[in-house]
Structures are given as structure tokens and as C-alpha cells.
Structure 1
Amino acid sequence: MKVTGLTLRQLGLHLCMLWLLALACAAQAATTIQTTPVPKVQVPGKSSKPAKAVPPPKPVLAPPAGNLVIIGGGLRTENAEVWQRIVQLAGGKGARIGVFGSASINPENAAQATVNKLNQYGAQAFAIPLGVTWPNSDYRKAAEDPETVAMIHSATGIYFTGGDQARITRALVRPDGSHTAALDAVWDVYRDGGVVAGSSAGAAIMSTTMFYDAKPTLDMLKQGVNDGHEIAPGLGFIGDDVFVDQHLLVRGRFARMIPVMLKKGYQIGLGIDENTAMVVNAKRDVEIIGYSGALLLDLSAAITDRGIKGFNISNATISYLDRGDKFNLVSREFTPSPDKADNKLDPNQPDTREPVYTNDILGNNAVLDLMVNLIDNAQQEAIGIAFGNPRDFNPELGFEFRFSKTINSVGYSSTEVEAYSVLKLRMDIRPIQLQQPLYRYR
């Protein structure tokens, strides 16, 4: 039988060939689909570049469990209260305390002198051979040396001597700003419960900002402060929220703290006097020990007037913490020393009514004398002024410091010695002009 010229057998073969051809085409199409790359979908506003790998999170370090002993400089050998506290906080008799003389021009001698003093009070102190000017040594290599690091790790206390604080940071911080192995070891001692103490330059490094190549206080008020000149990064043991200064009352340095605090955003500043120390524990309690005291500056409510040409500040708060007093940096709570606890001054029964004034507020202990005279006085404000040498930069420019009592101002008097604690006086500073040259009366 034929169908349109084809036999049934021919038609079957023809259909079979068409079926095999269709299978072949389907297989080729499937292969094409599998090997063709899937086009990327572009999301509006997103880059088509492949995403970078997310770096692992930085490890969260526990807050330090140790203590700080921040000394204002001039610590005398006979000041047993401070030396004994350092040894006690390092573990008591036999405590291993590593001493850095790095700030000194002669670090080996400076370290050994402090080692001898600590050992007089029961420690087993030793010098850390690391300093920019340490003889016959490369301080960069020494700061990474495993033996130096092991010496530091063996200590339960660290002490930084006085001198130039820039030498300390240069010896312990790499040029790129990262920690050397030696500095990491110091932090390990502090985090593990050890004590870190420092005097003068050793106190300056305690905050994240320190004075570097500082001008006189009055010049800093006149000319301002600049990173890398008057100030530079410190080591930050006390935290990034508190600014520290030293030699404070003796050298009238409280005023130079203020422009730095404003520039770097600090609300709290602590300035410790000579032969005196602030002990700061893990709960951030500050205790004053030694010969004198510390000034506490609070700029949390302070303002500056941009309309006034020259440095100025209003509504700063200044307090004087005497030996034995305590202050918590977190709660801002004050606890007077035991001999003052029951002797709070009564503002309705002032001791004097005399005006309070000084023409050299930056002089030796001048600000403390003014604050003490004001807090137990019927007067509500006191004034101090500051002018420089007529041959200094811009001799006509000076500053008026006005101290005022507010409803928050409080005073305490010791029942044992003539000593006071003064809390929360308002302080305003503004520029004033003094005509030059000065003329004498005839």
C-alpha cells in the first residue's frame, strides 16, 4: 500500500528519523541551558562589584581590674603613705614592681633610684631596660624583645618615673600608633589586677591626651593648643573620658587644662598636686592621698561665647579634693575624708566677710587660697586676674577669673588640721586688656 507515494514501511522509517532528530535537538538545548551563565540581577543603588569579605569583629577586652596611682610629681622619699600604697596594691611585701625610667634623659639611673625607694618599703622592684636614651640599646628592638616582655609580665606593678612624657610614648608606641609588645604587656598587668603608677611625666601619660611641648599657661590661653605641638596622644590608662595634669597647684596649671579639655571634648579633668597622689580603682573611685590635694574640673555645662574675641568660658565647675577625700568618676559622688565628714560648713554662719581677690591667679597655690577663702565667706564671688611679662607675646591681653558660689556649692572643714574641701564653685574666664606701657604716679 502507498500513501502519497510512500509505502507504510518508508513512512515508519521517516517518522523514526524525525523522532531521533528531535531527541538530539532537545539534548543540545538542555546542554546549552546548563552551560549558559545566569545573568546577575542589578539592584538599583547597589554596586555590581562583588562584596568584600567582612573582617572579624575585634575582641572585646575586659575593663582593667587593677589600680592607678597618679602622682603629681615631686614625690618625697619620706611620703610613706604613697609609697606604701603602691607596694600594697602590687601585692604587699615582696611585690615585683617593674620600673620604667623611660622619661628621663638618664633612664637607667632614674629607674634604679625609684627601685631603691620602692624596696625601702618592702617591694622587690627591678628596672625595665627600655628607653629612648637607654645606653647601648635600640629602644625599638627592646620594646619588642621577648625577654623584656617576659620581665614586664612577671610584675604585679608598674612604675613610670618623671622626666619628659614624650620619651615614654616614643619608647612604647610604634610610629604607626600601634602598641609595642612591651606596652601590651603593661596593659596585661593592669587588666589582670596589677597597679600602674606614675609621677610627673608618668602621670601625664595616664589620659588619652597629654601635654607634649607645652607653652606657659598664659600663652596657651592667648594662643590656643594644637595637636602635635602642645598636646599629643597619651597611653590612656584612666580611660578616654578624663583628662589628667600634674604639678598642678604649685605651678598654677589648672587654667591650661581648660583649653585642652574643650578642644578634645573632655568633660572631666583631674589635676594632682606635687607630693600627692590619686588612687583610681576598678570601680573608678578616686582617693586623694599624700601631702596636698587635687582640682576637679567639670565642663559638662560650660559654654563659650564666639562673639568674644579671645579665649573665654562660662559656667565651668571647679572643686578641690583634699587628702582623704574620695570621688567616683561614674556617679560623680563625693565622700569627704573622715575628719571632715561631720563638719560641713554652714553658709549662714560664714567665718569672714572680707572681699576675696588675687592679682596672680596662676601663682603658687593662689587658686586654692581663693577657693578656700570664698567658701567660708559671706561674699558670693571672688576675682583673680592673670597678666604676663610686659615683654611677653601680646602683653596687653590678660584674663579675669570669676569664682561664684551657687546653690550646689559646698565646703567641708577638718576637725584635726586646717584643711578644707571645696565643691562646685562656678568659674567664668574672660579676656581683659591692660594698657601698656604702665605709668607711674608722679
Structure 2
Amino acid sequence: MKRWLGWLVAGLIWCTQSSAADAVPPQGALVIIGGALRADNAVIWQRIVALSGGAGARIAVLPTAAGNPERSGRNIAAQLNRHGAAAFVVPLAPAYKQRDYRRDAEDEQLAQNIRQAGGVYFAGGDQTRITRALVRPDGSRTAVLQAIWEMYERGGVIAGTSAGAAIMSSTMYDETRSVIDTLTSGVSDGAELAPGLGFIGNDIFVDQHLLARGRFARMLPAMLKKGYKLGLGIDENTALVIRGQRDVEVLGYQGALLLDLQQATVDGALAQFNLSNARISYYDRGDRFELPSGRYTPSADKIDGKVDPAHPANRQPVYSSDILGHNAVLILMERLIDNVHTQALGIATAAPGEPHPELGYEFKFSRVAESEGYESASSEAYTVLRLRLDVRPLQISQPWYR
């Protein structure tokens, strides 16, 4: 109960603080990385350095989320420096054995070093370590967090991977379960959900490790619970670069999903999770789009690749027996957008030993009038815009034999 009240107070104070900040968009940029950023993904590392000021840019590395902050901070700083930065580690993390992270978060010298930098990079790990270290118990900003905001507002960069991506929205996942268990059991404040740092604003939910771990579905109950209409899910080894006016560019290995619940409804008569008339889009690397309008600019290899629905390339029905599997939702969307069939089904069921094995979910994807697709001229890759998504519960029969 105390924990829940603490989060409630923190959230109320945070919303009051951030509403003033939202009035004037920050002049800086966000680089939100979906986790598992590889050392050889030069395009993302180079963009962080370039946005932070180019060669010699001072970038503060915060290994706050890491279980081994010494190693994490050292490796990230070295990687940024290989691409021309002058990165330095801010020794602020609950896992440092001989330091007091609460005292470090109020250290004016550390805050000043960040204030004078061109960028900040949050390492991956446990996102609650970041919020615990940077937000005071009453919900107000520590000296270090205030310095990060000032750097961002004047034109600096905030980058973060995995846990460092989760904190970008005003709500983040905390105590996580499997995706199917999250759908079945629901989410609540102070348990599965906790306040983030809200760098992207209060109107967009952010999640990470999206396609690799099938997490797109767990975004839905969180968004419904907190009233988000738009959600961004970023895949591993991939980044979204977002500027203050919400111009978004996709960089790296793969892409990101945009979930739009502006027209979505829920049947309150059903006890189980359900959703109708949502929209789901996949933006591939090199694509650009705007939030919240969704105005799209294709990557160079897709400029002349708009899919003609009158002449579809595929004729096979589209179905997935494990829509939460690795890349399953992306494969289904790509096959549907250029197909004679206008609907595709994906099924999600509990793994052995999970709660409620009798419950499953049907994910129905439909190509509607506003749906569009763009095919790459150089690879087997698509951008898929505005498919309709409906989710309904299923009763799963048990084996007839024992």
C-alpha cells in the first residue's frame, strides 16, 4: 500500500511538472533504442554523436540501470568515443557498492557536468533503478535529473537503450510477466506499471524489445489502463530519432510498431481482455513519419514501391499459430499487405505452467480503406501502414486424453 501511494504522489507531482515543460517543446532530440544495440551498428552510434555536437561532443553516460555499472559505463563510453565523442561516465547507480546514489543524484558537480554536455546516454538494465535514483520520494526531480532536462530543453540529446528506452514515456513497465499472462491478468499501478521520466511527453507510450520478444500485445493493456492513444514499440538493435516537433526517423537493423487506439473500443461486458478497431503500423529502417499525424515519408528504397492493392503479389491465406513469437507479427503484416486476402489471424496461448491455460486470444488483422504498404526495391522488406487490429479471447480446449 505504501509503495502504491508513493507512486501515486510521484505521478501527480510529475504530471504537474511535465505539463509546464510540454507547453514549449524541448529543442533537443531523443534517440530511443529498443535494446540489444550491437557494437557494429555504426549508424546509431554515429547519429548519437552527431546530434550531440559531432566530433569531440561531450556525452554523459549514465549506467544507472545496470547491474554492473562500472563495466557498462566503461564499455558504452568507449563505444561512443570510437565514433568521435568525448564521453564520460557519471558514477550514479544503485548497484555501485561503495557509493550512495541518493547523494550522487544531488551532487551539483555531477549535475553541472551533465548540464554542459551535448548528450546523455542511459544504459540498459532495470528501469526502476533509474527512476529510484533520479526522482525524489516526493516525486520531484533530483539535481541530476533537472540538469538532464535543462540539457535536453536547450538542444541536447537524450539516448537510451532497453531500460533507457522504457523511461522515455511517463508510464513504464515495472514488474513484468509474460505477454499472455499480462493480457489475462491485467495491469495495475504500483505493480506492473510505474511512472517513467516522460521525456517524450505524456501522450505516447514507449516499449522496447518489441518484435524479438512479441511484446506488441502487452502494450495494449498498459495503453488502455493509462489512457494512451498512441504507442511506439521499438525492436532490438534499432532506434527511433525523435525531435521536439515529433518528427521520427527509424535507424538500425529493423523497425518499430505504432499502435493507434484513437478509434478503438472495448466490450465491457467481457471479463477478459478484448479490443476492437485499433490500428497498427510498421515503420522500417530509413522511414520517417510524424506524430501524431502519421504523415509518412518512405525510405529511399521504397519511394517507388507503393503496393497496388489491385495487383497483389501473394495469394496464400495468412495465419500464425504463435503471434507472440519472434518477429511473427511483422511477418504476418508483411504477407497481408500485398495479398488477395484482406484478413489474417494470429493466435496466442499460454505456455506450459502459466496461469489460465484455458484462455487464449485471437488477433485479427484486416486491410481496410486507409491501409497502405510500401515494398523495398533492394530487399524483402515492407512498410505497413494502418492495418485494423481486433483482439478477442478464446476458450482453449484441454487434451481429450490424460
**Considering the TM-score relative to the shorter chain, is it more than 0.5?**
yes
Match of 2:191 in 1: 229
What is residue 93 of structure 1 aligned with on the other side? 55
For 1:100-179, list aligned pairs within 5 A.
100-179=62-141
Q: 2:388 aligns with which of 423, 426, 436?
A: 426
Identity within the alignment, %: 58
- Is 1:70–2:32 an aligned residue pair? yes
Deviation, structure 1 residue 439? 4.2
Tell me if 1:308 matches 2:240.
no
CA distance in 1 between counterparts of 2:314 and 2:392 reads: 27
Contact 2:169–2:206 (8 Å) recurs in 1? yes
Q: Deviations over 1:375-421 (max 9, x none)?
A: 00000100000001243211010000000010001000011111100
Equivalent residue number for residue 378 of structure 2: 416
CA deviation vs aligned residue, 1:276-329 (integer Å, no higher than 9, x gap): 000001221011000000000000000001122300000000000000111111
Question: 1:210 corresponds to which residue?
Answer: 172
**Counterpart residue number, 2:358:** 396
Paired with 1:241 and 1:375, the residues of 2 have a C-alpha distance of 28
Comparing 132-141 with 215-224, greater Cα deviation is found at 132-141
**Which residue of 2 is the match for residue 327 of structure 1?**
289
Native 8 Å contact 2:25 2:245 kept in 1: no
The match for 1:14 is none
Question: Are positions 1:243 and 2:209 aligned together?
Answer: no
1:268 aligns with 2:230: yes
Supply the distance in 2 between the matched residues of 1:315 and 1:431 (Cα, whole angstroms): 15
Mapped pair 1:353 → 2:321: no
1:9-47 residue CA offsets vs partner (Å, 9 max, x unmatched): xxxxxxxxxxxxxxxxxxxxxxxxxxxxxxxxxxxxxxx
Whether 1:220 aligns to 2:182 is yes
User: 2 CA distance for matches of 1:331 and 1:307?
Assistant: 32
Q: Deviations over 1:257-282 (max 9, x none)?
A: 00000010100000000000000012
Q: Distance in 1 between matches of 2:305 and 2:133?
A: 48
The one of 293, 301, 308 equivalent to 1:339 is: 301
* Residues 167-225 of structure 1 deviation map (CA, whole Å, 9 limit, x = unaligned): 00001000111100100000011001000000000000000000101111100100000
Match of 1:379 in 2: 341
| Structure-2-length-normalised TM-score | 0.93
1:151 Cα deviation from its structure 2 partner: 1.5
Report whether the alignment pairs 1:437 with 2:402.
no
Q: Equivalent residue for 1:18?
A: none
SS across alignment from 1:300: coil
**Structure with greater contact order relative to length (CA < 8 Å, sep ≥ 6):** 2
SS at match of 1:399: strand
Matched residue SS, 1:361 = coil
The aligned counterpart of 1:280 is 242
SS at match of 2:155: coil
Paired with 1:62 and 1:262, the residues of 2 have a C-alpha distance of 27
Deviates more, 1:306-315 or 1:387-396: 387-396
Shift in Å, 1:59: 7.0
SS at match of 1:308: coil
Task: Give the drift of 1:63.
Answer: 2.1
CA–CA distance in structure 2, aligned partners of residues 410 and 59 of structure 1: 37
Aligned residue for 1:129, secondary structure, equals coil
Amino acid at match of 2:174: Y
Measure the CA separation in 2 of the matches of 1:377 and 1:216: 32
- Give 3-state SS (helix, strand or coil) of 1:339's partner: helix
Matched, 1:79 2:45: no
Flag structure 1 segments of 5+ consecutive residues without an equivalent. 1-57
In structure 2, the residue matched to 1:180 is 142
Cα distance in 1 for partners of 2:149, 2:175 equals 26
User: Take 2:52 and 2:398, find their aligned partners in 1: how far apart are those partners?
Assistant: 56
Letter matched to residue 204 of structure 1: A
Q: Distance in 2 between matches of 1:438 and 1:133?
A: 51
Unaligned runs of 5+ in 2: 1-18
CA deviation string 1:328-349 (max 9, x = no partner): 1133211111211111000010
1:192 equivalent in alignment to 2:157: no
